[in-house]
Amino acid sequence: MPVTESSIHVLRSDEKDSADPAFVSFAVPHEKDMTVLAALLWIQDNLDGTLALRYSCRGAVCGSCAMVINGDIALACRIHLRNLPAEVIVEPLPNLPIQKDLVVDMTRFWESWARVRPYLIRFDDMPEKEILQTPAQLDRIEQFINCMLCACCYSACPLQQRNPEYVGPAALAALARFENDSRDQRDRDSLKEVSHDSGMWGCRSIFRCIDVCPRNVRPADGIAELRTRALKDLLGRKKR
């Protein structure tokens, strides 16, 4: 199998170092099936063991290896070098603080996600058997279940860049998932908690969250559903 070479330019920095971020280039020989993640791990093993990055499953399941590759936010384990030019630029996710090289601090992302109470809430006694759903009920939430919490949408969102307090598309999609779940019994306070400009009304419907999602989740659709539900609740109260 023929071997070719790519130049991988990695934006490197360290929060403990006052030096400005700078690109460091590595020549990586590879066969046709090497991914960007595999190339970065090869650099770790053969050229520079101090290169820092996040990864886990290597199979597009965990979402840990999200980064910017030639200007596009993607999972490094899904992007093959054969589909890229010989010069490959790799950068950490935007909208999150950089800890070192390609590793970002996900604290802000997880805090935003936790704010929407992204879990099943029930007030009735739990039944002895599982609560079944019809195919139609599952279809309403299935795309949101597929979210792997990779933070691609969070990093791509222009509003997130302008307003770090914005809850973010991933968290709002999670709320839409449970608001539409036939088994969930949460009250309307869940909507009130995000009914502000840093919540569901902050979204400008630019759809970057949809463009970058590796699992074809459409967070903007979930946000639109939350807005519709909030308006229906408001109009219903006014009629009463």
Q: What is the pLDDT of residues 17-68, one digit of tens each?
A: 767 899 999 999 998 899 999 999 999 999 999 999 999 999 999 999 999 9
The count of domains in the chain is 2
94-126 confidence digits (pLDDT tens): 999 999 999 999 999 999 999 999 999 999 887
If asked whether residues 48 and 166 sit together in one domain, one would say no
Task: Please give the residue that has the higher pLDDT: either 208 or 237.
Answer: 208
Which residues constitute the domain of residue 149? 107-239
- The last residue of a domain, from among 67, 86, 104: 104
Residue-level pLDDT at 1: 58
Three-class SS state of 127:
coil
Please choose, from the candidates 2, 4, 14, 3, the residue with its C-alpha nearest in 3D space to the C-alpha of residue 87.
4
Using the 3D structure, point to which of 104, 136, 155 is the last residue of a domain: 104
pLDDT band at 239 (very low <50, low <70, confident <90, very high): very low
CA 115 to chain centre: 16
Query: What residues contact residue 80 under an 8 Å CB cut-off, 6+ apart?
Result: 32, 33, 34, 35, 36
Rounded to whole angstroms, how far apart are CA atoms 196 and 186?
19
Phi and psi of 11, rounded to 5°?
Answer: -75, 115
Q: Count how many Cα atoms sit within 13 Å of the Cα of residue 96 in the half-sphere of its side chain.
A: 29
Local confidence band at 240 (pLDDT 50, 70, 90 cut-offs): very low
Q: What is the pLDDT of residue 238?
A: 52
